[in-house]
Amino acid sequence: MTERKIKVAYVINSVLVAGAETTLFETASHLGRERFSPVVYVLGDYGDGRPTLVPRFAQANIPLIFLSPGKKLGVISALTSLRRMFRKERPDVIHAHLPDAVIASGIAAILLRIPFIIHEHQTHKFHSWKIRLAYRFLRLFAALTITYAETLEAELFGTTHVLRDPPERLAYSSYTVHNGIDVDRVKTTLSSLDRDRKRHECGFTKDDVIITSVARFVEWKGHQLLVEAFASVADHIPNARLFILGNGPLLEPLRARARELHLENRISLPGARNDIYEILGSSDIFSLAFVYPDGVDAEAIGIAGFEAMAFGLPVVIGDYAGARTYLGDNERGMIVAPRDRDALAQALVRLVNDKQYRQQLGDAARVFVARELDWNVLIKVYERIYTLIVNL
């Protein structure tokens, strides 16, 4: 007799190319299909031309259900739709990401008595009091809360329990599971990449040293700091280039700032792209030095930074929580003081000028990611979590 598959319903605000969305995709796509059946419910189809993960979901044969095609759905309407769909489909476990999706699907799950998981992706210091209150209520009923970093679990629960291996049982209400990287996809990209051709396509030469950054254009991502620091780099190194990818409200102001600094020919700001892996494979350095508000000590590096490390790029990040967990004592990248433009510029100058040092840091970064953050290993943790929750 064939064992029934465990039906996992993932719920998220959108499937734009971003950190939480990528984590959801990698989890769903790596699940063993002989034991699990994933489906993804999406609250909003923004339909504004921004890159999405829809093609990758289709390639992985993962069903996507848009609750409101062509627009974003509010929490109350999403709750109504999800309750109706869950009542019909009866998933075995619900795994929710990002506030609107967590609140709507969490309440629906409580009403239908379906176990659900809350997945936390950022500090609650960025959330409104209403969202924080809703999360506190939902955590009383959740089967489990998963955080992406020890610092976030400590913030929310005052303790940490890191899962690197499948647990024998779920002894706690919260666990940290680090974000992973599709190491196989990185290897496939590198095996077929024509590096010089890709650089030429992006407007660079084979002799340029390309500093790449990938993030949504919001203030705390530190793009302004990076541009200001690069101005010092550009003054001393003619072949240094800055390539910043992403979208968001501060993109146009940053383009204007590049023009003010007369660096429009040295800084490329093309917006969001679908070929991030090919660009990372063709770059030399990665920088994403966050500038959190005073009193916020959130994670120092995001998924884009891990992806850069997987490609063997030396990364430069701010000295926030977790920096040394991932980079060691500047062994797999360079850690600089937060908000310190001169320190960031000096780190970039050193890396641009020293190819051997770049190689040393990048090689160590690649080994670390393959050992600690490979989705082929991390997925076993999630599979065990789902199995334990369903069998409670």
Residues 247-299 pLDDT 10s = 888 999 999 999 999 999 999 999 988 899 999 999 999 999 999 888 777 88
Instruction: Answer yes or no: is pLDDT of 92 > 70.
Output: yes
- Decide if 181 contacts 154 (C-beta within 8 A): no
What is the arithmetic mean of pLDDT over 104-124?
Answer: 96
Residues 316-350 pLDDT 10s = 999 988 899 999 999 999 999 999 999 999 999 99
Residues 366-381 pLDDT 10s = 999 999 999 999 999 9
- Identical topology for domains 6-180+374-390 and 183-372: yes
Lowest mean pLDDT among 66-80, 154-168, 228-242, 279-293: 66-80
Per the DSSP assignment, residues forming a β-bridge with 95 are 10, 117
Q: How far is residue 44 from each of residues 16, 27, 68, 77, 326, measured CA to CA in Å?
A: 10, 20, 6, 11, 33
Q: Could you tell me the residue ranges of all domains in the chain?
A: 6-180+374-390, 183-372
Pick from 179, 187, 190, 151: which is nearest to 373 by CA?
Answer: 179
What is the arithmetic mean of pLDDT over 85-103?
Answer: 97
Looking at domain 183-372, its CATH architecture is 3-Layer(aba) Sandwich (3.40)
What pTM, to 2 d.p., does this model score?
0.90
Q: Of 3.30.70.20, 3.40.50.2000, 3.40.228.10, 3.40.50.620, which CATH number belongs to 6-180+374-390?
A: 3.40.50.2000
* Amino acid, single-letter form, for residue 176: T
Instruction: Answer yes or no: is pLDDT of 47 > 70.
Output: no
Instruction: Answer yes or no: is pLDDT of 1 > 80.
Output: no
Pick from 139, 142, 14: which is nearest to 72 by CA?
Answer: 14
Question: Strand (E) positions, the chain?
Answer: 6-12, 36-42, 64-66, 93-97, 116-120, 144-147, 174-176, 209-214, 240-245, 267-271, 285-287, 315-318, 333-336
Alpha-carbon distance 345 to 228, whole Å? 8
Alpha-carbon distance 213 to 241, whole Å? 11
